[in-house]
Structure 1
């Protein structure tokens, strides 16, 4: 009986808690760091508004200084002043706007069809074993084959018109959307699925309350990569039998060694890529406002 009582005292929550508390107490003569008012910060710190513009701004400043002090050969790389003057001329003649509108249309169509196809395939493979067995292996093989490597075959099938250009962009977007959305769907904790089954949720309620919130982070990662893929594909396809577009304008400038026009095109690609990524990030922060992450 005495032995049972002693064992009970050893296993009681009170005794365990007291022991844990004694182990957590600091040694004599030491003061906890928080009490000294110098708590260590482990996170990346507070975000600065428009802080991502600092890097590009520094790059432009270095470029401007190198051009001003004569370290750059203007025949190889034009200075910022020359590029701004050329951009103003292209805007005044309407040439830049016309090419930009064509490029935006191509990238927008490719992004739309790519996002739609990637999400549909991810849902079909991520929520159904039959769909996974039929689709995932094929799409993983496609991921190993760059979309640009399929250009000869797509030209043979679709010709060299707008349909081929939009298809190349859509393929690059769809793979990124599928991989990330599928990974987020299959990464949902199985305990949430068991809870939904225990609550006898319908299929639609399960998708709305479990699947959508669980897959949104991966969806937005895929969307950001898809936006970048749309611009990368656009750069290539606009140099294949194109008569309009930023890439066509740059290709024509290459023939006449107009580096300033080429840089205007590169800057246009960079601005649209940066702006589209920032727009997706802003939407992501608003939609996923319930998350507390290091991104802020």
Structure 2
């Protein structure tokens, strides 16, 4: 078996590695799916024509779709490791008062070996983005993917980690009962921060670049970074096409206005006795319309 060095700093060697050529088609399908409807050229053109409110709605959709992109992209990369089982459905985990008390009042080493019944009732729940289980090591990771933690206060991050730890107490029972007798002897929680502004390896906050460690696949962090870049590049490309399409009707109207002004100046039109002053205003309006469009850098050496 060939051992591949991971691209993550300080990572050990892993027996599995990302083959970007092999994943290319999967990434293409994912990007097409998540960008086609909300960020197609047609949708963006309609938003630009609709004004600020519609354009703002499109911009708000970008973080949502990027979150889905990251979750599904991680799942695709994790499949490179045949020892892993990736779960994304039916993951609503109960967060009971008993579990929260255990987490908040004890050091993790005191409840590390505990597990609670998944049927335990409670109004509070936590839904992770992914649960990844290694069948060989029987280690499960409860994963929350964040595009950015830049706006999160420390107290909010700590509250999230407490909920995740409390929910993790039911994961062994849930996996065995609802997922084909899947066994987890240890459960760890991790927040993956795609923004890479904050990291706390010991405290369960990892930059997305350390994805290699999580899925034990060399180059995983680089691959997910490339997926994000290509997703944003697709949106940027569609935005430029939509912007150009939106500008063309204005330029066409400007050309028609200029043509009408020229006809009037040559006497080809029909005017009332006050035509001289009206034509002058029309010409000014035509010139104003012609100048509507994209700014251009003046070229040196031209008249």
Do the structures match in fold with TM over 0.5? no
Structure 1 length as normaliser, TM-score?
A: 0.25
Greater share of residues in helix: 1
Structure 2 length as normaliser, TM-score?
A: 0.25
Greater share of residues in strand: 2
